[in-house]
Amino acid sequence: MKNIEDINKENVKKILAKKKIPEFFAGDTIKVGVRIAEGKRERIQYFEGVCIAKKNRNINSSFTVRKISFGEGVERTFALYSPIVGSIKVIRSGKVKRAKLYYLRDKKGKSARIAEKIKKKIGINISEQVSENKPQEQKKIKVTENEKKETKLTGEPKKEEPKKETSKITTKNEELKKKKK
């Protein structure tokens, strides 16, 4: 005999096979596509706002989204695996230190802003990998336009000599003395 938890886990797997749900947390700005039935027709209306709470409880998981509409705060709680939720898209990730952002209810304007989390992508791009047939090290040499012209004329590039660094700071008095001479 199956437990209720086992049945719920199977149902969640079936739903996830059909629908893609992105990973999001409290503080993220998300856009939820809500299915609305008007008579015989069905349409999708988007509800965009900040996710202030997320409850992870298998099939009973839910999240709350808050937005300001015409100067009034509006909150809506959605069941994560509900057929009413058509799509979820993460617009930007927020950098917060709490799991529940209920304190945003009292804040207005600039004080209610959430800093954006910058995600670092670490990894190797597949297109940049070197195959086994090519040599491991390929150095790119910067060639200036003068060197290109010399190469065309003589056939071989000019050998560069080490540059000597000389830096002299001249003051206005020294410049005036040079002009008088």
Can you give the residue range of the structural domain that contains 30? 4-105
Q: Are 88 and 37 in contact (CB under 8 A)?
A: no
Spell out the per-residue pLDDT of the chain, length 181, in tens.
Answer: 789 999 999 999 999 999 999 999 999 999 999 999 999 999 999 999 999 999 999 999 999 999 999 989 999 999 999 999 999 999 999 999 999 999 999 998 899 899 998 877 777 666 555 555 555 555 555 556 555 555 555 656 556 566 555 555 656 667 777 777 6
Global confidence as pTM: 0.63
68 vs 75: CA distance, rounded Å: 9
Say if 166 falls within a structural domain: no
Say if 123 falls within a structural domain: no
Say if 147 falls within a structural domain: no
Say if 91 falls within a structural domain: yes
Please give the radius of gyration of the chain, using alpha carbons only, rounded to the nearest integer: 32
pLDDT score at 115: 92
94 vs 52: CA distance, rounded Å: 11
Q: CATH number of the domain that 76 lies in?
A: 2.30.30.790
Specify the number of domains making up the chain: 1
User: Quick count: other Cβ atoms within 10 Å of Cβ 67?
Assistant: 14
Q: Are 51 and 32 in contact (CB under 8 A)?
A: no
68 vs 60: CA distance, rounded Å: 27
Say if 167 falls within a structural domain: no
Say if 164 falls within a structural domain: no
Say if 9 falls within a structural domain: yes
Say if 38 falls within a structural domain: yes
